[in-house]
Amino acid sequence: MTGPGEAADPAELDRAHVWHPYASVPASVPAHLVSRARGVRLTLADGRELVDGMSSWWAAIHGYNHPRLNRALREQLQDMAHVMFGGLTHEPAVRLASTLAAMTGLPKVFLADSGSVAVEVAIKMASQFTGRSRLLTVRGGYHGDTFGAMAVCDPVNGMHHLFSGALPRHVFADRPPRDLDEGYLAHLDETVARNARDLAAIIVEPVVQGAGGMHFYHPAYLRRLRELADEHGLLLIADEIATGFGRTGELFGCDHAGIRPDIMCVGKALTGGYLSLAATLCTERVASGVGVLMHGPTYMGNPLAAAVAGASLELLRERPWREEVKRIEAGLTEGLAEAARAPGVKDVRVLGAIGVVEAREPVDVARVQDVVMEHGVWLRPFNRLIYTMPPYSVGDDLGRITEAMTAAARSLGPG
């Protein structure tokens, strides 16, 4: 093996040293070396060009190497890359907080490092506000990989069951159905009422459960949870990290139900896929009741991340994102219709700029990736899901994504 400073094949160095997310060492599925990302395309080191159907885990909603976002970073870099946020402040963070408050109707903004940290902050807010620490959520959810966030992920069917003995025990209602079911509304009523005196808050992903299975549910359940929180004196936390900034066809998932949470977490698309940044927002009432919030990330309010986030949200407000997402939804619905007829497919579902092919059995990730890459597309399937959340600027390349997903669906076993 080559020593420090010596030339070596990056792919070889990756295999030797890099531990990738949700992977063993050595990894069972190879990592593909990317040399460039522009527009909606990734160029691999071997010259292959792939349409990115994942928006880099749902973050790069404007595509890559966008001139407006590049300019925001360059200009901010001339002034400062970072300054501590304790006792100091700066214009990019202040303007970003003001923009987020106006977009959400939640006036108090705590800037965090990542989505998981935003959820941790939300849990701390709820606990400090109520003096209680237990939460209610629904099965099938996913809220992040840190310990507080893991505790409100599905403890049976989720990816964190290995840590169940080390996690706080919260209250779980059943997974919400896709269609309206009066029996499920009654189940929510009973579950909340039975546990209310021990609870600080209800936490859910609005309308779409992301990494827990790309499951969609009826907005009526979100409305009922808002009513139940008010009735029992609980806080409602909306985890909009995956659903925020237009992905579901509304600006936020809560908009489908016409409700406002007490606390909201946002991240992923916040910076347009440039830098890690998230935020936890809350009402005046919650902020006043919490007092001194015992949390303070070192890179909180990073000026570079705040500047590019501000530029990304400005770009989102200017572009016809709603029409773009509607076109993506229509294209996914039409383009994936054939995939639904493949024998190994259990379900095909589409909402906004989210398209999901659910297999009857767990998919062979390496095999599916080979199929879609042969069609010039990058996707990252997991468990039984082959799904896409493309950049809003995907345009005509959407057809290539649906063709690749359909080919992948045909490659599945009969189930």
- Averaged pLDDT score across all residues of the chain: 95
Q: Compute the average pLDDT of residues 270-282.
A: 98
- How far apart are alpha carbons 152 and 134 in whole angstroms? 10
Encode pLDDT of 106-149 as tens digits. 999 999 999 999 999 999 999 999 999 999 999 999 999 999 99
pLDDT of residue 230: 98
Q: Which domains does the chain have, with CATH numbers?
A: 32-62+320-411 (3.90.1150.10), 67-318 (3.40.640.10)
Q: Which residues are annotated as catalytic?
A: 22, 142, 239, 268
For residue 374, the model assigns a pLDDT of 98
pLDDT (tens digit, 9 = 90+) per residue, 57-71? 999 999 999 999 999
Q: Of 37-46, 94-103, 158-167, which range is least confident?
A: 158-167
| pLDDT interval class at 10 (50, 70, 90) | very high
| pLDDT confidence of residue 28 | 84
Nearest to 39 by CA among 320, 292, 335, 397: 397
Tokens representing 202 are: 């209800």
Whether residue 189 has pLDDT greater than 80: yes
Burial of 43 (0-12, 13-18, 19+ CB in 10 A): middle
User: What pLDDT, on the 0 to 100 scale, is given for residue 5?
Assistant: 53
Peptide bond before residue 92 is cis, with ω within 30 degrees of 0: no
* The pLDDT of residue 157: 65
| pLDDT attached to residue 33 | 96
Tell me if 215 sits within 8 A of 242, measured CB to CB.
no
CB 354 within 8 A of CB 208: yes
Average pLDDT over residues 323-330: 98
Q: By C-alpha distance, which of 198, 286, 189, 306 is closest to 237?
A: 286
* Residue 203 scores a pLDDT above 90: yes
pLDDT of 414 higher than 70: yes
Please name the residue ranges forming H helices in 180-279.
Answer: 182-195, 219-232
pLDDT, average across residues 85-98: 98
**Statement: residue 415 has pLDDT above 70:** no
pLDDT at 337: 98
Determine the straight-line distance between the first and last CA of the chain, rounded to whole angstroms: 44
pLDDT band at 3 (very low <50, low <70, confident <90, very high): low
Which whole number is the average pLDDT over 22-45?
93
pLDDT at 6: 58
Instruction: Report whether 238 contacts 263 (CB < 8 A).
Output: yes
Q: Does the pLDDT of residue 323 top 90, yes or no?
A: yes
Q: Inform me whether the pLDDT recorded for 186 exceeds 90.
A: yes
Q: What is the pLDDT of residue 4?
A: 57
Query: For residues 165 and 139, which has the higher predicted lDDT (pLDDT)?
Result: 139
Query: How many CA atoms are closer than 13 Å to the CA of 309, on its beta-carbon side?
Result: 31
Sign of torsion over alpha carbons 388, 390, 392, 394: negative
pLDDT for residue 238 is more than 70: yes
Tokens linked to 104:
């959400």
Reported as a pLDDT band with limits 50, 70 and 90, residue 192 is: very high
**Mean pLDDT calculated for residue range 343-369:** 97
Which residues make beta-bridge pairs with 239?
Answer: 265
Question: Would you place residue 2 in the very low, low, confident or very high pLDDT band (cuts 50, 70, 90)?
Answer: low
Residue 353 DSSP label: T
